[in-house]
Amino acid sequence: MTGRHPHWRFFLLLIACWSISNLLHAQSIQGLVVSIADGDTLTVLDAQKVQHKIRLAGIDTPERRQPFGQRARDALSAFVFQEVVLVLTEKKDRYGRWVGKVISDGRDVNLALVVDGWAWHYKKYAGEQSASDRLLYANAEEDARSQRRGLWSDPHAIPPWEWRAGSR
Confirm if 29 and 89 have CB atoms less than 8 A apart.
Answer: yes
Looking at residue 107, its pLDDT comes to 97
Question: What are the CA-CA distances from residue 67 to residues 34, 62, 64, 120 (Å)?
Answer: 25, 7, 8, 14
d(CA 31, CA 29): 7
Give the CA angle between residues 52, 35, 90 to the nearest 5°: 30
3-state secondary structure of 42: strand
- pTM comes to 0.83
Q: Whole-angstrom distance between the N-terminal and C-terminal Cα of the chain?
A: 62
- Residue 149, number of CB atoms within 10 A of its CB: 15
d(CA 110, CA 59): 7
Catalytic pick from 4, 55, 65, 90?
55
Return per-residue pLDDT of the chain as tens, 168 residues.
Answer: 445 555 555 555 555 555 454 444 569 999 999 999 999 999 999 999 999 999 999 999 999 999 999 999 999 999 999 999 999 999 999 999 999 999 999 999 999 999 999 999 999 999 899 999 999 999 999 999 999 999 999 999 999 999 988 865
d(CA 24, CA 68): 38
Q: Is 107 a catalytic residue?
A: no
Secondary-structure class of domain 25-155 per CATH: mainly beta
Looking at residue 166, its pLDDT comes to 81
Q: Is 94 a catalytic residue?
A: no
Residue 136 C-beta-side C-alpha neighbours within 13 Å: 14
Q: Is 73 a catalytic residue?
A: no
Beta bridge partners of 35: 43
Catalytic pick from 4, 64, 94, 97?
97
Catalytic pick from 4, 63, 64, 134?
63
Confirm if 11 and 23 have CB atoms less than 8 A apart.
Answer: no
d(CA 16, CA 162): 41
